[in-house]
């Protein structure tokens, strides 16, 4: 990886993938105690009643465990719980000072244009993402998304596709290998999703995600303890 990237105190390396435990408010204590995780993702859109005024306390509770926190308020079009755009914007504004990184969709162009400079000015890492919920687009289209994310100021680009078979996974593998020097995170949902959580980190995906309670993706996530054990066995530091 040509650039030195980090989320909070955790350095990122394409030779040693970092494991993210993902969850919502209902998973708060499980996230705090997630053995094997390097980072935590709080999915603010999965909170029962996502309110900007309560978000700082949730992030502070997660941050107290000593692991950096990624804040995400996923758009409904890309797999999140439906929220008004004004509510999503307010959640990011309230949570940004208390998180180490944010994850915003590439397609949320106006929101990203506002948040990216704010995040960078505050010393936060910016991940811009795209979620293809029903298929895996061609490699050229996925690499075009990396270009778009970088043009918007992304430090990391995260691409998530629905992988029905090994052919789809091969596309993601190709994209990961081509973009591994650019700060890439790749994952799959669907039948090939569980395999993607190990194969793509081996190819250079900087992060891989597991769940601590209810999966935060439609399919393909592994429990965090199982994922950590697999990576320690197959990709030792």
Catalytic residue set: 131, 158
Question: Which three-class secondary structure string do you get for the chain?
Answer: CCCCEEECCEEEECCECEEEEEECHHHHHHHHCCCCCCEEEEEHHHCCCCCCCCHHHHHHHHHCCCCCEEEECCCHHHCCCCCCHHHHHHHHHHHHHHCCEEEEECCCHHHHHHHHHHHHHCCCEEEEEEEECCCCCCHHHHHHHHHHHHHCCCCEEEEEEECCCHHHHHHHHHHHHHHHHHCEEEEEECCCHHHHHHHHHHHCCCEEEEECCCCCCCCCCEEHHHHHHHHHHHCCC
């Amino acid at each position: 990886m040509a650039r030195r990237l980090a989320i909070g105190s955790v350095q990122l390396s394409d030779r040693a993938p970092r494991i993210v435990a993902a969850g919502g408010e209902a998973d708060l204590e499980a996230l705090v105690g997630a053995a094997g995780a390097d980072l935590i993702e709080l999915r603010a859109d999965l909170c029962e009643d996502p309110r900007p005024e309560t978000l700082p306390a949730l992030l502070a509770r997660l941050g107290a465990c000593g692991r950096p926190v990624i804040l995400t308020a996923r758009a409904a079009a890309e797999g999140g719980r439906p929220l008004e755009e004004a509510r999503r914007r307010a959640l990011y504004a309230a949570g940004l000072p208390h998180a180490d990184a944010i994850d915003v969709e590439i397609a949320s162009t106006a929101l990203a244009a506002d948040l990216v400079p704010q995040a960078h000015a505050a010393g936060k890492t910016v991940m811009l993402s795209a979620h293809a919920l029903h298929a895996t687009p061609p490699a050229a289209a996925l690499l075009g998304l990396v270009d778009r994310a970088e043009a918007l100021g992304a430090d990391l680009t995260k691409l998530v596709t629905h992988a029905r078979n090994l052919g789809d996974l091969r596309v993601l593998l190709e994209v990961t290998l081509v973009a591994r020097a650019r700060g890439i995170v790749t994952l799959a949902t669907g039948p090939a999703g569980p395999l993607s959580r190990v194969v793509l980190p081996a190819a250079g995906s900087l992060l891989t995600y597991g769940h601590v309670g209810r999966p935060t993706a439609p399919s393909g996530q592994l429990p965090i303890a199982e994922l950590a054990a697999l990576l320690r066995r197959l990709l030792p530091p």
